[in-house]
Amino acid sequence: MSMINNLRAAVVRPARRRVGDAFESKPGDTPSAVVDCAVYQQGKRTGETCSPREAARQVRAAHQTGPGSFSWIGLHEPTEAEFEGIAQRFGLHPLAVEDAVHAHQRPKVERYDGMLFAVFKTVRYVEHEQLTPTSEVVETGELMVFAGQDFVITVRHGAHSSLRALRHRLEADAEGTGLLAKGPAAVLHAIADHVVDNYLLVAERLQNDVDEIEYDVFANKGGRGADVGRVYQLKREVLEFKRAVTPLLRPMQQLSEPTARLVDLDMQKYFRDVADHLARVSEQVHGFDELLNSLLQANLAQVSVAQNEDMRKITAWAAIFAVPTMITGVYGMNFDNMPELKWTYGYPSVLGAIALICVGMYRGFRRNGWL
């Protein structure tokens, strides 16, 4: 497997300039999966984009004069070969490295020998003109964060939720809140806050879809309700969103608890704010899920009621038509001695009796709501 990945890295991912990068990749120095790499000292970026090797060297040199320096390396879907050198240089745990490379992980926060490894599910709302039984409503990706004493390594899987704008915003705010001066924990908080803020935006957009489905289910459409396929598809998308949000609740609470001591006390209040926003999103998503369950049941109940109404109408008309069928069937047996058979007014009298009986049954069924 390692040999195949090495060959793929050499053929598919040659040294190249990625869109928006400010450096040229060099074999053995900067893997092509690196999107950005920089060193920060006292909350400010020092120099331009550099290689991971150069970043590690600068941080070690800065630590000789004083603390407060760390590197931030951002990668996008690295292969094992591309990530191997960075993992060895920064002493990343093999289990965490395996999770970061292969992705498809559950949201979590784990501690490895003084280093935090966090997994976030990123979510993007997919625009659509009308919800259909095959509409994709939410698209998910993954974001892994290694936060050590003097480094942050982010590994992103998926085409959305780039951290470039977040990095630039933190760098521009160096003179404001100065969160970068608090070190890697501040970057971890900023990423968590960024991910959860996207959850809030997606939840707001999903609310419109849920409201639309709810209106369609209870709208006057002959008692048939909305297409059950649309309700079920939206429920599947909400469940995918729920799988991204719910598992992250406990890790965010741990990062904000003084007893856990996973981050500095100064940063715990920031994580409490993120945990509070995440709890609000979780409540919304669980509400969507429960409401869609109720809508599915209501839709099925409407279909059942409509079928029962159809059966009652069919039964009522069958009973009405049974009267003339029975009477004409009796008189059609051609016996010689039958009442009123030779009477001049016998034929119209029988037709009138049939009509009166049918009209009476029709009015009775109408009065009882069967027709």
Q: What is the mean pLDDT of the chain?
A: 82
CA distances 214 to 12, 81, 288, 299, 302, Å, are 48, 50, 11, 10, 13
pLDDT above 60: residue 14 = no
Q: Which of 181-190, 269-278, 336-345, 354-363 has the lowest mean pLDDT?
A: 336-345
Query: How many CB atoms lie under 10 A from the CB of residue 31?
Result: 25
Model confidence at 17, in pLDDT bands (50, 70, 90)? Answer: very low
* Highest-pLDDT range among 11-15, 108-112, 296-300: 108-112
SS (H, E, C) 217-255: HHCCCCCCCCCHHHHHHHHHHHHHHHHHHHHHHHHHHHH
Name the pairing type of β-strands 69-76 and 44-46.
unpaired
Q: Give the residue-averaged pLDDT of 79-107.
A: 90
Note the pLDDT tens digit of each residue in 292-340: 998 888 888 877 877 788 888 888 888 888 888 887 887 777 767 677 6
- Residue 361's H or E segment, with its range, is helix 346-367
**Residue 120 phi, psi dihedral angles, 5° rounding:** -120, 145
Residue 236: CB atoms within 10 A of its CB come to: 13
Give the pLDDT of residue 20: 35
**Which residues, other chains included, contact 362 with Cβ-Cβ below 8 Å and sequence gap of 6+?**
320, 371
Q: What is the 3-state secondary structure (H, E, C) of 256-271?
A: HCCCCCCCCHHHHHHH
- Tell which residue, 194, 227, 198, 202, has the closest CA to residue 212: 227
| Strands (DSSP E) found in the chain | 34-41, 44-46, 69-76, 108-112, 115-125, 138-147, 151-157
CA distances from 288 to 229, 278, 291, 307, 332 (A): 17, 15, 5, 28, 65
Q: Is the pLDDT of residue 27 over 50?
A: no
| Alpha helix stretches (DSSP H) within 108-183 | 164-172
pLDDT at 13 over 60: no
108 pLDDT band, cuts 50/70/90, is very high
Please write the tens of the pLDDT for every residue from 168-193.
998 888 665 678 888 899 999 999 99
Least confident of 25-34, 63-72, 211-220, 358-367: 25-34
How far apart CA 107 and CA 134 sit, in angstroms, is 27
Tokens found for residue 15: 């040294």
- State how far the Cα of 194 lies from the Cα of 160, in Å rounded to an integer: 13
In the chain, the amino acid numbered 59 is: V
For residue 286, pLDDT over 90 is answered with yes
Structure confidence at residue 48 as a pLDDT band (50, 70, 90): confident
Look up residue 49 and give its DSSP letter.
-
Rounded Cα distance, 252 and 119, in Å: 11
List of domains in the chain: 2-303 (3.30.460.20), 308-367 (1.20.58)
What tokens were used for 228? 């059950």
- Please tell me the predicted confidence (pLDDT) of residue 173: 80
Quick check: 160 pLDDT over 80? yes
Task: Give the Cα-Cα-Cα angle 32, 34, 35 (nearest 5 degrees).
Answer: 115
Q: Give yes or no for residue 215 having a pLDDT over 60.
A: yes
pLDDT greater than 70 at residue 236: yes
